[in-house]
Amino acid sequence: MTADTISSPHLPRRHPDCAYKAIGDDGGLVVLSGRGEVKVLNPVGVKIYSLLDGKRTIDEIVAAVTDEFEVSESSARRDVDAFLGELAVHGMLAETARD
């Protein structure tokens, strides 16, 4: 999966080999155990990552970020798209079938 394959109808989900831990209100960590990589998440990253369950669309994730962080939809979409692209590049998203 690459950053350009992610689109709004996609239902992104965390890679099953990733361990995730939120740390208070400050952020969190994602560990890809097979490769020993660690990604540090800020609060927005924690919110997005917590919603990557394969049941929510990108539009729903953008709406949740917009509501919680009181940012514009366009700003939230840029953040979500960039974050998902970064996760995809690092193998931290599972392949998901499209409807």
Split at pLDDT 50, 70, 90, the class of 97 is: low
Q: C-alpha angle with apex 13: 6 to 79, nearest 5 degrees?
A: 55
Three-state secondary structure of the chain: CCHHHCCCCCCCEECCCEEEEEECCCEEEEEECCCCEEEEECHHHHHHHHCCECCCCHHHHHHHHHHHHCCCHHHHHHHHHHHHHHHHHCCCECCCCCC
List the chain domain ranges. 3-89
What pLDDT does residue 99 have? Answer: 46
Split at pLDDT 50, 70, 90, the class of 26 is: confident
pLDDT per position as a tens digit, 31-86:
887 778 888 999 999 999 999 999 999 999 999 999 999 999 999 999 999 999 99
CATH topology (fold) of 3-89: Outer Surface Protein A; domain 3 (3.90.930)
Q: How distant is the alpha carbon of residue 1 from its chain centre? A: 14
Name, in order, each residue with C-beta under 8 angstroms of 55's C-beta and a sequence gap of 6 or more: 11, 13
What pLDDT does residue 25 have? Answer: 81
What pLDDT does residue 8 have? Answer: 43
